[in-house]
């Protein structure tokens, strides 16, 4: 009984051993049937216009060299495909025994393509006529286009009339051909719009199929423009396709002011201790109304400068106002030139004018000197008169 | 050579004589003036003085030329290059204005110290007074003759500086510079005139011409050497020990300045410096208030003149006063003929 049991155990163990050895061999024997196609990425997602280099391995499991002929049996319509390896277009590939080779499926996603999933099937037929197929799914994630795009990240800019506005546009040629685009604008009169490509001013730009070109647009508004929002349309036009972008310019009003005199003369003379009236002129050279213009001064010590009026309530663009400044010099001022600085200020803008004021001393002492000499002369005349005729 | 000299001197003697003849109807006053002028010009004294002034002009031009370059580059704000000829110095020799203020008194004293007392000692004064002329003609004519010689000298000197300046620098003076130099020469004449009058006064006062010459020189030495020392002593003794106020300091400063201005040479140097350096804006102390916002720049000629008008007035008045004094002294003097 015991011997019988032992026999069973031995047989089982043998069978186990046999199984351990035989079972790995069985699939290998099945694979020796021929070549197999393999890729890691059997399903990918792409966008229209993208080119795909799809690496595929062909595995030879047999013990003999396999000559596999390759072909694409299924592909979406309008997609151009080719199989390449080692820089060649290939249709047949030989693989050493127990080895593998790789080749590439090259294709380009057409620009005009519907969103969705597209299937490819590659078939390898070995020497013995056995077939291995590899299905590939390509997911197109976007609706494909066949057009030109003119885009910018920042279509709106703000600044005053003095500043210039720089927009960065991207011109995308999503057509199948190279295009020469003429760049133009419908800006109102007085606006200056420049197109620049690689720091060169241009009027047209050549863009290859399915590439993009950066275009810098510089917009300079007219000097005397009123505050507001302006839309500047820019176009890129090629024969078959065109694109337009709208650039928005938000002009804030400019605050500019000029302080001068009606004659433009910024010098005057004054007698020490006396008062002199200087007429000042304030010009609003900006594009916004100026309000509450205050006049102030920095003058030498003991000098007085008074303005009439002291505050100008409002000054419209292009208008000018007259202010009288009464400058009173110090009685102790020495003769010669002094500087009086007059400023006009609003919260937005200020301007100042330097006056060179020549102080003249009073001629009174001069006359007193003349008088003294005349007295002395009279004294001598008296002496002549008294003693002379003896 | 001596023959030529003799001929020349004969010629010079003849010319005035002929002229005197030609103007027989001339006023006796001008006859005396002419005679006095001729006497002065023909004297050795005049030649010495002229040589002295020539040397002065050449020396001061030399110093000015050697320092003109640096003086111009230092002061780029003004373009009064020509005036620099009169004021610039390189430190080895004083500039022209200092020469004039130093030598001017000597010229004045030299021309006037024996005006009256030499006539008196020679006995010609009484003879002159015997003529049918007013007595004051003599002193007036002596003054006018000497002053005209001084004017001639100063103007010659000024023109010499002008000419040599243009020759050496190649820069012609601007009208403004011309007028400044003109006024400077005028002030110089008045300044020398003050000393001339002083010398004439001494010559009236003292019988000996040596005494009058010495007293004139003594006054000159006093003002040019000892006066500033004296003022320094006064300053040291009267200086306020505690300065509490800026105004106090300023008034003290002007007191010291007025003390210094008793000296005619101080008045002269203030007047001429202001005339020849247009950037001088004031002669007194400048307060911070006055200096604030002041722009550096030259004064116009009128303002410069106005600034030194008191000095000019003082100089003219001094000259007139001293002349008046000597006039009175002369008129009241007893003149006896020497037997």
CA–CA distance, B14 with B6 (Å, rounded to integer): 12
Q: Minimal CA–CA distance to A116: which of A61, A46, A32?
A: A46
- Written as six digits, the tokens of B137 are 């003609």
Nearest Cα residue to A168 out of A182, A190, A151, A180: A151
Q: Are B61 and B149 in contact (CB under 8 A)?
A: no
B209 inside domain: yes
Contacts A–B by Cβ distance under 8 A: 104
Instruction: Check residue A26 and give its pLDDT.
Output: 43
In degrees and rounded to multiples of 5, residue B189 shows phi and psi of -60, -45
CB contact under 8 A, B294 and A384: no
Interface check for B297 against chain A (CB to CB < 8 A): the answer is yes
Find which of B29, B247, B250, B299 to mutate to test the A interface (most A CBs within 10 Å of its CB): B299
Q: Is B310 on the interface with A (CB under 8 A)?
A: yes
* Closest chain A C-alpha to B211 CA, distance in angstroms: 27
ipTM exceeding cut-off 0.85 for this assembly:
no
Domain extent, residue B93, equals 27-222+316-332
From first CA to last CA, the distance across chain A in angstroms is: 196
Question: In the CATH scheme, what is the code of domain A31-140?
Answer: 2.60.40.10
Q: How many domains does chain B have?
A: 1
Q: What is the distance in angstroms between the Cα of B154 and the nearest Cα belonging to chain A? A: 23
Q: For each successive 10 residues of chain A (390 residues), what is the average pLDDT?
A: 64 56 45 74 81 87 85 84 88 87 86 83 84 87 78 88 88 83 90 91 88 91 83 87 88 85 88 89 86 89 88 87 90 85 89 89 83 89 77
> Where in chain A are all domains bearing CATH 2.60.40.10?
31-140, 148-252, 257-362
Is it true that domain A257-362 has CATH number 2.60.40.10? yes
- Asked if B199 and B113 count as a contact pair (C-beta separation under 8 A), the reply is yes
- Contacts of residue B317 in chain A, CB cutoff 8 Å? 372-373, 376
B 218-257 residues with CB below 8 A of A? none
Is residue B192 a part of any domain in this protein? yes
Residue B68 predicted with pLDDT over 80: no
Percent of residues, chain B, with pLDDT higher than 90: 24
pLDDT in the model for residue A31: 45
A307 close to A325: Cβ distance less than 8 angstroms: yes
A46-75 CB burial, b ≥16 within 10 A, e <16: bebbbebebebebbbbbeeebebebebeeb
B138 to chain A nearest CA, in Å? 11
pLDDT at A17: 54
Per residue in B121-172, pLDDT tens? 888 888 887 878 888 888 888 999 999 999 998 998 888 888 888 888 787 8
Q: Domain for residue B339, yes or no?
A: no
Write down the CATH number for the domain with range A148-252: 2.60.40.10
> Domain for residue B136, yes or no?
yes
Digit-coded pLDDT (tens) for B4-63: 555 555 555 555 544 545 555 678 888 888 888 888 888 888 889 889 888 888 888 888
Substitution target from B133, B194, B309, B318 for chain A, most A beta carbons within 10 A: B309
Q: Which residue has the higher pLDDT, A216 or B85?
A: A216
Residue B295 maps to a domain: no
* Interface residue B25 vs chain A (CB under 8 A): no
B287 to A332: CB separation less than 8 angstroms, yes or no: yes
Long-range contacts of B152-155 (CB under 8 A, 24+ apart): B153/B49, B153/B50, B153/B53, B153/B107, B154/B185, B154/B188, B154/B189, B154/B192, B155/B185
**The pTM is what?**
0.65
pLDDT of residue B221: 92
Using alpha carbons only, give the angle B266, B270, B274 rounded to the nearest 5 degrees. 170
What pLDDT is attached to residue B268? 92
In this complex, the residue of A334, A370, A389 whose CB is nearest that of residue B281 is: A334
């Amino acid at each position: 009984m015991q011997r019988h049991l032992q026999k069973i155990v031995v047989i089982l163990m043998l069978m186990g051993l046999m199984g351990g050895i035989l079972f790995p061999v069985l699939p290998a024997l099945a694979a020796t049937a021929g070549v197999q196609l393999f890729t890691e990425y059997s399903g990918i997602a792409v966008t229209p216009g993208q080119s795909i280099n799809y690496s595929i391995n062909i595995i030879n499991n047999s013990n003999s060299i396999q000559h596999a002929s390759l072909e694409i049996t299924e592909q979406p319509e309008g997609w151009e495909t080719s199989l390449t390896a080692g820089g060649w277009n290939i249709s047949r590939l030989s693989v050493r025994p127990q080895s593998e080779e790789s080749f590439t499926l090259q294709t380009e996603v057409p620009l005009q393509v519907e969103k969705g999933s597209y299937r490819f099937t590659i078939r390898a037929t070995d020497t013995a006529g056995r077939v291995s197929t590899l299905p590939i799914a390509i997911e197109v994630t976007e609706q494909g286009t066949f057009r030109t795009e003119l885009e910018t990240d920042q279509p709106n800019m703000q600044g005053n009339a003095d500043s210039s506005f720089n927009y960065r546009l991207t011109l995308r040629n999503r057509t199948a051909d190279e295009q020469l685009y003429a760049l133009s604008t419908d800006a109102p009169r007085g606006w200056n719009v420049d197109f620049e490509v690689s720091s060169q001013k241009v009027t047209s730009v050549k863009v290859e199929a399915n590439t993009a070109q950066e275009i810098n647009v510089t917009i300079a508004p007219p000097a005397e423009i009123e505050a507001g929002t302006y839309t500047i349309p820019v176009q890129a036009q090629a024969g078959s396709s065109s694109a337009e972008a709208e650039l928005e310019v938000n002009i804030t009003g400019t605050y500019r002011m000029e302080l001068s005199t009606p004659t433009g003369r910024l010098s005057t003379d004054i007698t020490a201790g006396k008062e002199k009236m200087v007429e000042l002129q304030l010009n609003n050279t900006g594009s916004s109304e100026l309000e509450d213009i205050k006049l102030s001064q920095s003058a030498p010590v003991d000098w007085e400068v008074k303005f009439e009026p002291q505050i100008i309530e409002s000054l419209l663009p292009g208008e000018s106002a007259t202010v009288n400044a009464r400058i009173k010099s110090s009685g102790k001022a020495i003769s010669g030139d002094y500087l009086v600085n007059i400023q006009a200020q609003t919260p937005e803008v200020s301007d100042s004018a330097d006056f060179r004021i020549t102080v003249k001393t009073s001629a009174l002492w001069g006359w007193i000197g003349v008088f003294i000499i005349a007295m002395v002369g009279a004294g001598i005349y008296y002496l002549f008169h008294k003693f002379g005729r003896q | 050579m001596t023959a030529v000299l003799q001929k020349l001197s004969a010629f010079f003697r003849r010319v005035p004589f002929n002229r005197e003849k030609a103007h027989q109807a001339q006023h006796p006053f001008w006859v005396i003036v002419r005679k006095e002028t001729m006497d002065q010009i023909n004297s050795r004294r005049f030649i010495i003085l002229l040589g002295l002034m020539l040397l002065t002009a050449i020396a001061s031009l030399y110093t000015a030329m050697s320092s003109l370059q640096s003086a111009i580059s230092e002061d780029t704000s003004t373009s009064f290059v020509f005036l620099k000829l009169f004021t610039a110095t390189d430190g080895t020799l004083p500039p022209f204005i200092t020469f004039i203020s130093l030598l001017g008194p000597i010229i004045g004293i030299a021309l006037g110290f024996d005006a009256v007392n030499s006539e008196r000692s020679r006995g010609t004064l009484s003879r002159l007074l015997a003529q049918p002329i007013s007595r004051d003609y003599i002193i007036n004519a002596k003054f006018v003759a000497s002053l005209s010689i001084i004017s001639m000298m100063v103007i010659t000197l000024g023109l010499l500086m002008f000419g040599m300046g243009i020759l050496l620098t190649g820069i012609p003076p601007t009208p403004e510079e011309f007028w400044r130099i003109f006024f400077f020469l005028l002030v110089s004449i008045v300044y020398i005139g003050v000393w001339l009058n002083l010398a004439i006064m001494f010559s009236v006062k003292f019988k000996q011409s040596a005494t009058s010459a010495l007293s004139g020189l003594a006054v000159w030495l006093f003002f040019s050497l000892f006066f500033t020392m004296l003022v320094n002593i006064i300053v040291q003794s009267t200086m306020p020990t505690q300065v509490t106020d800026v105004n106090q300091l300023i008034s003290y400063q002007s007191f010291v300045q007025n003390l210094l201005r008793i000296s005619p040479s101080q008045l002269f140097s203030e007047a001429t410096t202001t005339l020849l350096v247009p950037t001088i804006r004031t002669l007194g102390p400048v307060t911070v208030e006055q200096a604030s916002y002041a722009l550096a720049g030259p004064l116009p000629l009128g303002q410069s003149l106005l600034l030194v008008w008191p000095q000019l007035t003082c100089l003219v008045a001094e000259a007139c006063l001293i002349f008046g004094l000597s006039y009175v002294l002369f008129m009241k003097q007893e003149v006896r003929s020497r037997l």
